[in-house]
């Protein structure tokens, strides 16, 4: 008979959400176990945010050589790149991030860390298959924070056949000369650009807009901008046909031969391996747990679900918030409903593609004002090669309160945060125009867009001259 450990809280998953949940459980001085089947280290550190940004940084350094002759820098045509060494350097830096996250998990959980595959027998009873055999856990409350994995449809060939996921991309020893990418969400777009800027011939296909952009003007601007860097196919589904040691990528009448295919088709929650239905958890039509996004409680059960495991907001900063919410509520007699922070999504595409607050397709066009500004009229953007930048702000027609924004903008990652903060604080266009704007900075584009909104409030707009460089 396996032994049983009795604790206040069982946390399944030691990723970002699980670790933030653990922080709250430890603050409440509750007994716990942290269960993970490995490898330790968050999705962000191992296969997501961090290695992708290393790839983008390497690509930016290499692509920068093309602009050197215009500034009088000679010899750039003689520079060489060793992709094998580039990817080794990427993995070395990735491993520093990942090992650091794994070390923090081991240190925080100590002897309460159970390495093994979990299965829920009931909302509070968990079986863990460990190397030493089955371990049972009986908990007063359970937190599901099992993360996610790349979607790999049944029709997709295997990695052994030359079709890999975005996770597996970073494990390559070398990069072939021609790579196809299927899927153009944030990950697909970022990897297409990184590979193309490194000098790889990239063909990328997707059925929707780039990074899911909902604003048609931003989506069109992004397509025009990035189609200059790689073969960009939007619209029809992609199909694969084997040819020699590679593949022919099809989309409608378009075709291209590639040596390797990267599938960036999104991610799916790992909770399908927990036996949730058998444990009595309520599931929706897609087999996902039914939960309250303000409390993260599953039904009326003593179970909370956080991070990528619930599929609601699969982003690292959201996983951190949700982990803290779940951990806090798992330690309370009655769960607290939390106000969620302003939605914020960024593709680090340079110019960055960002969506902040309410999406354009969530708003009534008759009830909003739209303010826009272009990089071609901003001195700093022109210096940085960001003439094709475009920002669009959405404000309430009656009050001028900022509701949302969409950007294709050089240094957009920073402007997106400023806008998210303003939206969460219910700032109006007039409020923001009272703030200082240095010259020359990208933020002057924000001032121009705000003026477009403010002009609708006759007699209240503050004069603000933005130099046209």
Out of 1.10.10.10, 3.30.360.10, 3.50.50.60, 3.40.640.10, the CATH code matching 4-147+270-331 is 3.50.50.60
The fold for domain 344-456 equals Enolase-like; domain 1 (3.30.390)
Write b or e for each residue in 445-459: b if 16 or more Cβ atoms lie within 10 A of its Cβ, otherwise e: bbbbbbbbbbeeeee
What pLDDT is attached to residue 458?
66
Please give the span between the terminal C-alpha atoms of the chain, in angstroms, as a whole number. 78
Sheet (strand 368-374) strand order? 344-347, 352-357, 402-409, 390-396, 368-374
Sign of CA dihedral 147, 150, 153, 158: negative
Out of 3.50.50.60, 3.30.1600.10, 1.10.150.240, 3.40.50.1110, the CATH code matching 153-266 is 3.50.50.60
The CATH 3.30.390.30 domain(s) of the chain lie at 344-456
pLDDT tens by residue, the chain, 469 residues: 789 999 999 999 999 999 999 999 999 999 999 999 999 888 888 888 899 999 999 999 999 999 999 999 999 999 999 999 999 999 999 999 999 999 999 999 999 999 999 999 999 999 999 999 999 999 999 999 999 999 999 889 999 999 999 999 999 999 999 999 999 999 999 999 999 999 999 999 999 999 999 999 999 999 999 999 999 999 999 999 999 999 999 999 999 999 999 999 999 999 998 999 999 999 999 889 999 999 999 999 999 999 999 999 989 999 999 999 999 999 999 999 999 999 999 999 999 999 999 999 999 999 999 999 999 999 999 999 999 999 999 999 999 999 999 999 999 999 999 999 999 999 999 999 999 999 999 999 999 999 999 999 966 545 554 555 5
DSSP state of 270: G
Write b or e for each residue in 150-159: b if 16 or more Cβ atoms lie within 10 A of its Cβ, otherwise e: bebeeebeeb
Structure tokens at 449: 């867009």
Structure tokens at 347: 């593709």
Which one, of 395, 408, 405, lies nearest residue 347 by Cα? 408
Residue with tokens 């829920």: 120
The CATH 3.50.50.60 domain(s) of the chain lie at 4-147+270-331, 153-266
The conformational region for residue 301 under phi > 0 = left, psi -120 to 50 = alpha, else beta, is beta
Which one, of 163, 321, 319, 377, lies nearest residue 249 by Cα? 163
Alpha carbon distance 402, 435 (integer Å): 15
């Amino acid at each position: 008979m396996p032994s049983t450990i009795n604790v206040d809280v069982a946390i399944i998953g030691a990723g970002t959400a699980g670790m933030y949940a653990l922080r709250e459980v430890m603050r409440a001085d509750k007994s716990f176990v942290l269960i993970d089947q490995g490898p330790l280290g968050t999705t962000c550190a191992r296969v997501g945010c961090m290695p992708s940004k290393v790839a983008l940084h390497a690509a930016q350094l290499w692509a920068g050589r093309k602009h050197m002759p215009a500034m009088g820098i000679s010899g750039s045509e003689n520079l060489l790149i060793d992709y094998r060494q580039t990817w080794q350097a990427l993995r070395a830096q990735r491993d520093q991030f990942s090992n650091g996250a794994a070390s923090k998990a081991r240190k925080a959980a100590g002897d309460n860390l159970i390495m093994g595959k979990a299965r829920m027998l009931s909302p509070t009873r968990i079986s863990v298959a460990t190397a030493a055999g089955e371990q049972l856990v009986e908990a007063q409350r359970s937190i599901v924070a099992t993360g996610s994995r790349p979607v790999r449809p049944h029709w997709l060939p295997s990695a052994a056949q030359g079709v890999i996921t975005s996770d597996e991309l970073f494990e390559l020893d070398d990069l072939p000369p021609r790579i196809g990418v299927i899927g153009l969400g944030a990950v697909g777009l970022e990897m297409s650009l990184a590979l193309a800027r490194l000098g790889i011939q990239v063909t990328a296909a997707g059925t929707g807009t780039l990074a899911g952009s909902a604003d048609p003007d931003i989506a069109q601007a992004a397509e025009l901008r990035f189609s200059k860097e790689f073969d960009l196919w939007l619209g029809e589904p992609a199909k694969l046909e084997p040819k020699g040691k590679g593949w022919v990528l099809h989309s409608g009448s378009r075709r291209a031969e590639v040596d390797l295919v990267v599938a960036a088709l999104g991610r799916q929650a790992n909770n399908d391996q927990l036996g949730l239905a058998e444990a009595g958890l309520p599931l929706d039509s897609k087999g996902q747990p039914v939960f309250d996004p303000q409390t993260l409680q599953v039904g009326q059960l003593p179970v909370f679900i956080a991070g990528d495991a619930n599929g609601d907001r699969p982003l690292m900063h959201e996983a951190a918030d949700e982990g803290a919410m779940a951990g806090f509520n798992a330690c309370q007699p009655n769960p607290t409903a939390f106000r969620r922070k302003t939605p914020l999504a960024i593709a680090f595409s340079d110019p960055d593609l960002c969506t902040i607050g309410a999406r354009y397709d969530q708003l009534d066009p008759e009830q909003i004002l739209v303010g826009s500004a272009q990089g071609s009229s901003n001195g700093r953007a022109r210096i940085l090669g960001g003439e094709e930048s475009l920002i669009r702000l959405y404000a309430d027609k009656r009050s001028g309160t900022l509701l949302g924004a969409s950007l294709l903008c050089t240094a957009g990652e920073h402007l997106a945060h400023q806008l998210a903060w303003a939206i969460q604080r219910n700032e109006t266009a007039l409020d923001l125009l009272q703030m200082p704007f240095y010259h020359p900075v990208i933020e002057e584009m924000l001032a121009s867009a705000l003026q477009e909104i403010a002009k609708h409030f006759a007699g209240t707009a503050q004069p603000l001259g933005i130099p046209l460089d």
